[in-house]
């Protein structure tokens, strides 16, 4: 399953990363080497092995449905690159 330049371009799009042609070439080569190594696991027989997502058993943790301390609008917007009237400003969408 070698990764192609087309794949890298597509993955860059999915991951919202703008890539120039030189980067596409470089990452295709580097990701190819890493994926070849990672591909080692493909040959392992795991037919009856369950997957592990966490090393310790976890269940959903829910807090009580009570109002707690939360950030003020000013604090929430403190690091916003652009803000106006207690809202985040983004480039026009429609």
Q: Which residues of the chain form contacts with another protein (CB under 8 A)?
A: 1, 3, 7-8, 11-12, 14-19, 27, 30-31, 33-35, 37-42, 44, 46, 49-56, 58, 60-61, 63, 71, 75-76, 78-82, 88, 90-93
Read off the tokens for 5: 């330049």
Query: Minimum distance between the CB of residue 85 and another protein, rounded to whole angstroms?
Result: 16
Query: Minimum distance between the CB of residue 62 and another protein, rounded to whole angstroms?
Result: 9
- Cα(9)–Cα(4) distance, integer angstroms: 9
Q: Which is nearer to another protein, 65 or 92 (CB)?
A: 92
Query: Minimum distance between the CB of residue 23 and another protein, rounded to whole angstroms?
Result: 8
Would you tell me how many other CB atoms lie within 10 Å of the CB of residue 46? 9
Read off the tokens for 77: 């917007």
- Cα(74)–Cα(25) distance, integer angstroms: 44
């Amino acid at each position: 399953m070698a990764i192609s330049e087309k794949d890298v371009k597509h993955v860059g799009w999915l991951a919202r990363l703008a890539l120039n042609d030189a980067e596409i070439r470089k990452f295709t080569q580097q990701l190819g080497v890493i994926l070849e190594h990672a591909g080692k696991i493909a040959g392992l027989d795991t037919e009856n092995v369950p997957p592990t997502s966490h090393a310790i058993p976890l269940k959903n943790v829910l807090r009580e449905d009570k109002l707690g301390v939360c950030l003020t609008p000013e604090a929430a917007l403190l690091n916003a690159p652009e803000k106006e009237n207690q809202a985040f400003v983004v480039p026009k969408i429609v």
